Structure 1
Amino acid sequence: MNAPFNDSTITTDDTDETVLPDSLVRQLPLIARLSLEEKVRLLTGETAFTLPGADSIGLAPMAFSDGPTGVRGLKFAGGEPVALFPNATLISGSWDDDIAREVGEMLSDEARRQDIHVVLGPTVNLHRSPLGGRLFEAYSEDPYLTGRTASAYVSGMQARGTAACLKHLVANESETLRNFVDSRVTERTLREVYLLPFEMAAEDAGAWSMMAAYNDINGVTATEHREIQQDIVKREWGWDGLIMSDWFAVKRTVASANGGLDLVMPGPDGPWGDLLVAAVRRGEVPEATVDEHLARLLLLAERTGALNAVTAGEGPWPAPDSDLRREQLRRIATRGMVLVKNNENVLPLDAPDALALFGRHAYETQGMGGGSAQVNPPHLTSIADALTARLGDRLTVVDGVDVRTRPVPADPTFVSDPVTGEPGVRVTYLAADGSELLSRHEDGTTITIGWDDDFTEEPAAVTFTARLNNQEGPVRLGGIAAGTWTVSAETGAVQRHELPITGYDPAEAMLRPPSCVAAFNLPAHALVTARLDIAGVDWAAMFAANPALDIAEESHLLATGSFGSVALVAEQRTTTDDEALADAERAARAADTAVVVVGLTEEDETEAVDKSTLALPGRQDELVRRVAAAAEHTVVVVNAATPILMPWLDDVDAVLVAGLPGQEAGDAVADVLTGRAEPTGRLVTSYPRADGQTPAWAVTPGEDLAVRYTEGPSIGYRGHHASTAPEPLFWFGQGLGYGSWDYVGATLVSGGRAPVVQVELANTGSRTSRETVQVYFQPVDAAHPVRLVGYTGVLVEPGATAKVEVACDSRLLRCWDEDGRAWRPLGAGELLVARGLGDVRARIHLP
């Protein structure tokens, strides 16, 4: 046992002393009761999403959950239904702190309903390149909008007793080779741009935890990056929270323990445990360093009610499909939608006599992206269903072209369990000798193995058996998972497929597993079986074959085992793309107005893979052009969170960017189209005119595994404004809404380090509307790009005027001096009052 600390100063290595904040000093007497082995045991997860407790100090087990778009719970797939929120770009797209705060409060309720202590979000990485696969989880290309939105979200969540976790620390803007990529970024850019959202949410909202990323930063792995984690975040900012690893991110024992990381996830295996105990015994890691890590963990437990059974309040909390939740989620989604074109006020639709709706996304509206952000919602309303409910036979709905290149899990309504007759499948788990471990009904058609199951013996194979709800004829059957698939039907037809893991991401089998599919000619209501013989992966051998990949013997990447997502593929389609396009043209000619819904899917906006183009998948562009050529008026709804190319923009009358609107997607879009709600959002990312026309584009590392942030701090609109990239199609901050505005005047009402601008504006439209007044700063020194420094939203009646004050954030009026290693004021410049940088309404000199 260790003697209690008698002051707040501890030595964490041979040359350095750290003064702990008082909030951490309070934890030291508890820590002194524990042996080294007991301390270390608490610093690695007990399971995939839980931490162990310690009765001797009153510490209860803690539970974590992924949470950017909903609190999924402890099961990666197949868990209980939970609320599916609008995605991050719709939250930030509202440019409204109250909306972000409300989201945080609602997520806390969802967490507490499931006994979750820590929600793994928000994601405060930036939209550096529009190719980034995980941008739908992150707020914007701008550090100030991101940091301010995150601060409100964190404040709302933590005020109700649930910890937020800022992620991913830091420069984690792409997914390709994400476990090994080296983000090469200058210190100035890192501090002014990529660390700023973390700093804001730590300083303004007191975020209780952060997550260290997979990537390297300037040659040092994020989980080992002492300069960032220890020197900047913990010491310079005086932050008393906990830094956990991303799942399986830790590569070395000593370097991560001494580098400022506090907690390794997941468990129970990993590079700490006995290896860390041994490192302390050898003197490679000071025991006081372990104590600091544990003090931060105990403070997190105290804040979330896991220490000494402190509670943050009792329920009941609203159910995910309650009227209250549905209203909130629907309203939040509409507030972030952005109207980027509206010729002759085609929108909102004014009781059309004949409206035609087109596109696969109208039927299969996307409410969320892929990867760890996915949840199991109680429902997901489609645009087709929502508009049909309102317009009845005045609406014609026409399916569109294919939008995917990979098969998807079978629709549970297309299959039934042959034992129970219920929608879903019969899943049987088999041991290595072929004996049955378990057979059960599944409502869905996707399961996980080796992650959150509780088998005493690891399954060697799994079978799906289902009765199809098919018509006689061709049916596509297959599976999604790594291993050997044997797919058979009662006709005797059999197909076998070998699906290996092909990448170096140990999460590949979970987040983007390989797939197979083949056509079978089947009778109606056919009985089919798909068997997967699970293939183990020798990660050590794979990494050894590629010495460029940075893997240590104790790397957590080697402890991932065999886990993954497994799904049955079964689908039948009777219409070709050519037939769908011809049907669309005929329906468009007969309609007063055509609404075409286009977009991306979780294939494109997902974790662990980046995009290669911003072009819409399949023949969606052709669908828009052919409908627009036939219809009198055409409205396009973009069901995607990130920029797409719009080669048909001049051919259509209106474009609504709807994002990924969550479980109430269809009703939210219908509210906006019919005028029940105004799309008050403003763009959070600049939309380029063509591939490559952005300040930062490439996300694929070179042979040295580096992605170089050569654009420096001039990402997104900053680079477009400086002409380092062509003018965008749509500027960051752009958005029309259903109002029109006259900016009467703008004055500087106070100067100093944090100027305040007063703007008088008039609503010259016919509807009550919300305007977002944006203020940017353009320094005189051309070495420093323009940047957003403040914004304020206001609701104004038609014909009325309002005076709006916008406070500028002093953190955007400074720059980092790399030679002096200190902040200094930017100096003179101009404040730009704008509706996005493509529409500047006033300029104010700032001396």
Structure 2
Amino acid sequence: MVSTLGKVWDGVRADGRKGLAVTSEDTLAGGLSGGQLLAELDLTTKVRLLTGTSWFTFGDAADVGVGEIRMSDGMTGVRGAKFHGGPLVTLFPGATSLSSSWDEDSAYQLGRLLADEARLRGVQLVLGPTANLHRSALGGRLFEGFAEDPLLTGKLTAAVVRGLQDHGVGACVKHLVGNESETERESMNSVIDEPTLRELYLLPFEIAVAESDPWAMLSAYNRVNGVACTEHDLVNNQILKGEWGYRGLVISELLAAQSVEATANGGLDLVMPEVGSPWAAGLVDAVRSGAVTEDTLDDHVGRLLLLAERVGALQGRPAPQGGPTPQSRPTQQRTEEPANAAELSSFLVSLAAAGMTVLTNRDAVLPLSGDQQVAVIGRHAVETTCVGGGSAQVVPPQQVSIGEGLTTALGSAVTLVDGVEIRAEAVPARPSFVRDPTTGEPGVGFALLRADGTTIEQRASITATTMIGLEDEFTETVASVVIRARLDQGGPVQLGVVGVGDWSLSVDDQPTWETALSTHSGMMGEEFLDPPRATVTVQVLDHALVEATVLLPPVGDSGRPPSLFGLIARSAPRPADEVIAEAVEAASAADVAVVVVGLTDEQETEAVDKTTLALPGEQDRLVYAVAAAAPQTVVVVNAATPVLMPWLDAVDAVLWAGLPGQEAGHAVAAALLGTIEPSGRLVTSFPSADGAAPAWSVTPTDGDVVYREGTFVGYRGHFAGTAPAPAFWFGHGLGYTSWRYDQPVLLDGTDPAAVEVAVTNVGGRTSRELVQLYFDPADPAQPVRLVGWAAAVVRPGDTAQVTVIGDSRLWRRWDAETGTWTHLPRTGRLLVARGLGDIRGTITL
């Protein structure tokens, strides 16, 4: 949709900056001109519009014709304007599972489906996709980003944005900028020289602006070169809104804005939320004093009005592409399922399986034949990790485990065996283990109580968790929370609690345990992002009734922080020796053992970074033991980011499964059996050891994380020798066939470069080949870089002519002395490859 307000960005404001220069001829909704609308808004109304009305809503000024605009976290699902819980919603494959297919069309289709889900829940703006890079494999939130490469990240970001916005829902690309780690994220300073900032970390955002025009951008918590991202004039005003001509809205991360004049003048357009907002308290005075000009304020308001027009939140304007109008948009979330549930399920399986990556496949042990006896082993086989932690989590209608998926596909040929413990801390009870004693439904019951013990509200939760302090409609102070559940089985059981406060726990009305829990890191939001927990092991009878009560701390001057509370309940963990002995017995009796290992949301999560790439617990020991006993051993790695594989030479095949979403088990089964080829390629280099990477530490030193590697990040640094060769290169992936490449040919008259190459499928299966093109400049100060790729689906024995066109943005460098872009000399080499560890052709320039 072309907005009638969009053309006013060609103007220049009174302060000399390129930006919003609304004239009376520019119309908004219902025939009202942009100039008239802005002119009719008084100062306090403008400031009210520029401050979020709640944690996930803004606008909501019906008196001036602006409806409420609702946001939701994304991209793994759209739970609505909530931090936690919400209705059952689709859990999509994670970002690295999507990006591993290197397919812009799949990314677009995901955006379309996200838009469908958003409209069902009255959401107009999805917070995603993430355009930050995989700088260090220790980054806890890498699972939300696409790749270590800026071109691949930018192209896929733009595709998802188009998929959302072509269907009437806005995208909010995040996190602008330099947010590649989570440790001390609210205060850390990313120290990045300007060439590196522009050539790598801003490039995905630049591509997204140029190719999809995202309706919003989310400003990060961190600082860049000493300046808060919410105040960063160079990034927000000079580059984003000036050089790139960006027309959209720049929104603060929740509670990230800490100043008035610096944020307003630094390019931030909307402060979220109203609670704690410096603009709500001080922006009116700042404008009246002249510290912030009226032109600057009107630029912010004009961008918000453009977004409101785009999403149908201006009165009198038809909704775009079938999106919700202010009158028809639901005030509460709708919960009906999409009509095409079977088609959606099939798409999710295909999307996840196609992005899975065959890392090794000795003697073509994969795909499995389907008539083998298969021992499926590992905690991840029983409790598959389908999504990372933090704001990405939703409540899906199902999460199919890998064990369940293979059993569905192979029936009695599968023997399923649990694995060693994989978590340092127990998680809230799964619905298969507990039932609400009042309703009998899977999950637990919560009661929120006043100080006198009377009930404020009762809730049921299938996740065994609840949050208070954010979306609660009541205004009374919660003094205590009571959790009640009936266990589905007895025996030795691990019970525990999650959340800040003084806890007491009883079993069948008998006092059993007490503990006091408090925060420890001082991180903002720790009470709900990483709440404390504790457990105890007790012997219980079948169907025992468990009741846990927490007395909440007194409310401070700033109110009670948002807090998560939950009940832990599961069978008590068994000794590793016992578990491994069972696994060895099953492996010995099978034709092939499939060992499923990986990470959990303890490692791959918002607000926490990893400290090692080693698999948690004794998973390595389990793999070694099974490999020694089984005739053939396949390892499936259930993780979004690199792990160390000391057992690599002891196993026959490794399939990288990623975080496959709610259809995880069916997708892994399809990939292992070859009903869908796992034709994925790695989007991150896999270091051979901890520290063996161009960038490693994500822990600030005196508040700083210094990007010392410059532009030699990831595969660029490995290729240049600034770090040892990786265990697996960026772009690596075997699929289920073999390929022959002819000598590539540089096409005449192409600028900067286009290459054609004939690829022949010399294996026995139809397969998708991904031809990658890299530019290796003659100047050793410039790193190798991906400049393009193209895919072809080829039948056995056939040949395809594949043309790859290089992206001109990768043939430039930022000259810090002159402050301008300059073109790299067209000298060096073009590399045609199946990944930088498998170069198939070279052209000298």
- TM-score by length of structure 1 reads 0.94
Q: Which of the numbers 268, 273, 280 marks the counterpart of 1:273?
A: 280
- Partner in structure 1 of residue 306 of structure 2: 299
Tell whether the 8 Å contact from 1:210 to 1:241 is kept in structure 2 after alignment. Answer: yes
**Which position in structure 1 is the counterpart of 2:693?**
694
Q: 1:351 Cα shift? A: 2.0
Partner of 1:508: 526
Tell me what 1:220 maps to. 227
- The answer to whether the 8 Å contact 1:47/1:267 transfers is yes
Letter in 1 for 2:103: D
Give the equivalent residue in structure 1 for 2:87: 80
**TM-superposition CA deviations, 1:451-478 (whole Å, max 9, x none):** 111112131211101222222x432222
Q: Which amino acid aligns with 2:572?
A: R
Q: Which of the numbers 523, 533, 537 marks the counterpart of 2:551?
A: 533
One-letter amino acid of the counterpart of residue 488, structure 1: S
- Structure 1: state its 5+ residue gaps: 1-5, 541-558
Q: Which residue of 1 aligns with 2:326?
A: none
Q: Which amino acid aligns with 2:424?
A: T
Q: Write the mapping of 1:171-250 to structure 2, written as runs, cut at 5 A.
A: 171-250=178-257
- Residue 135 of structure 1 corresponds to which residue in structure 2? 142
Name the counterpart of 1:781. Answer: 779
- The letter for the 2-side match of 1:481 is G
Deviations 1:549-577 (A, max 9, x none): xxxxxxxxxx6841122111112236322
- Hey, what's the Cα distance between the residues in 2 that align with 1:218 and 1:530? 47
- In the alignment, which residue of structure 2 is the partner of 1:824? 822
Given that 2:385 and 2:638 are in contact with CA atoms closer than 8 Å, whether structure 1 keeps it comes out as yes
SS for the counterpart of 1:361 is helix
Checking the alignment, whether the CA contact within 8 Å between 1:226 and 1:260 is kept in structure 2 is yes
Partner of 1:494: 512
Percent identity for Structure 1 against Structure 2: 51
SS of match in other structure, 1:493 = strand
Cα distance in 1 for partners of 2:795, 2:210 equals: 36
Q: CA, structure 1 residues 407+135, in 2 after alignment: closer, same or farther (shift >3 Å)?
A: same
| Structure 2 counterpart of 1:456 | 475
- Equivalent position to 2:757, from 739, 756, 759: 759
- 1:666 correspondence with 2:665: yes
Task: Tell me the CA shift for residue 22 of structure 1.
Answer: 7.0
* Structure 1 counterpart of 2:611, one-letter code: S
Q: Which runs of 5+ in 2 are unaligned?
A: 1-7, 28-33, 324-333
Residue among 313, 318, 330 paired with 2:349: 330
Supply the AA of the counterpart residue of 1:514.
P
Change (3 A) 1:21 1:350: farther
1:519 to partner: Cα distance: 2.0
Contact 1:321 1:378 in 2 (8 A): no
- The answer to whether the 8 Å contact 1:597/1:637 transfers is yes
Relative to structure 1, is the Cα distance of residues 751 and 534 closer, same or farther in structure 2, using a 3 angstrom cutoff? farther
What's the RMSD between the two structures over aligned residues? 2.0
1:116-150 residue CA offsets vs partner (Å, 9 max, x unmatched):
11000000100000000000000000001100111
Is 1:398 the equivalent of 2:397? no
Amino acid at match of 2:20: L
Q: Are 1:69 and 1:87, in contact at CA under 8 Å, matched by a contact in 2?
A: yes
Cα pair distance change 1:234/1:313, threshold 3 Å? closer
SS at match of 1:71: coil
SS of the aligned residue for 2:840 comes to strand
SS at match of 2:352: helix
* Corresponding residue for residue 793 of structure 1: 791
Tell whether the 8 Å contact from 1:28 to 1:295 is kept in structure 2 after alignment.
no
For 2:3, the equivalent position in structure 1 comes to none
- Aligned partners of 2:9 and 2:247 also within 8 Å: no
Q: Match of 2:523, SS?
A: coil
Measured in 2, the distance between the counterparts of 1:580 and 1:200 equals 50
Matched, 1:479 2:511: no
Name the CA distance, whole Å, in 1 between partners of 2:759 and 2:9. 57
What does residue 652 of structure 2 align with?
A: 653
Distance 1:625 1:23 in 2: 71
Which structure 2 residues correspond to residues 574-593 of structure 1 after superposition, within 5 A? 575-593=574-592
The more displaced of 637-646 and 63-72 is 63-72
1:82/1:320 contact within 8 Å kept: no
Q: Which amino acid is the alignment partner of residue 344 of structure 2?
A: R
Aligned counterparts of 1:118 and 1:210: Cα–Cα separation in 2: 11
Q: Please list the CA deviations of residues 20-44 of structure 1 after superposition, one character each: whole Å capped at 9, or x if unmatched.
A: 3779965332121111111111111
CA, structure 1 residues 234+19, in 2 after alignment: closer, same or farther (shift >3 Å)? closer
Question: For residues 477 and 208 of structure 2, what CA distance do their matches in structure 1 show?
Answer: 42
Secondary structure of residue in 2 paired with 1:606: coil
1:606-651 alpha-carbon deviations (Å, 9 max, x no partner): 0000000000000000110000000111000000000000000000
8 Å CA contact 2:9–2:18 kept in 1: the answer is: no
Distance 1:706 1:375 in 2: 33
Whether 1:642 and 2:660 are equivalent positions in the alignment is: no
Q: Does the 8 A contact of 2:21 with 2:299 survive in 1?
A: no
3-state SS, counterpart of residue 432 of structure 2: helix
Residue in 2 that maps onto 1:310? 318
Pick from 429, 438, 458 the counterpart of residue 419 of structure 1. Answer: 438
> 1:777-798 deviations in whole A, cap 9, x for unaligned?
0111110100000000110011
Superposed displacement of residue 201, structure 1: 0.3
Asked if structure 1 preserves the Cα contact closer than 8 Å seen for 2:99 and 2:147, the reply is: yes
Counterpart residue number, 1:286: 293
Alignment partner, residue 39 of structure 1: 46
Which of the residues 96, 99, 112 maps onto 1:92? 99
Aligned residue number for residue 718 of structure 2: 720
Residue from 145, 150, 173 that aligns with 2:152: 145
C-alpha contact 1:111 1:119 (8 A) present in aligned 2: yes
Residue 703 (structure 2) aligns with = 705
Give 3-state SS (helix, strand or coil) of 1:90's partner. Answer: helix
Partner of 1:683: 682
Residue 523 (structure 1) aligns with: 541
- CA shift, 1:737, in A, is 0.5
C-alpha separation in 2, matches of 1:7 and 1:350:
60
2:620 maps to which residue? 621
> Counterpart amino acid of 1:772?
L
**Given that residues 183 and 709 in structure 1 are in contact (C-alpha distance below 8 angstroms), is that contact kept between their aligned partners in structure 2?**
yes
What is the CA–CA distance in structure 2 between the aligned matches of 1:736 and 1:437, rounded to whole Å? Answer: 58
Distance in structure 1 (CA, Å) of the matches to 2:828 and 2:339: 49
Structure 1 pair 299–574 and aligned structure 2 pair: CA distance change class (3 A) = closer
2: CA distance between counterparts of 1:188 and 1:530? Answer: 55
> Which stretch of the first structure deviates more once superposed, 176-185 or 23-32?
23-32
Query: What letter is aligned with 1:845?
Result: T
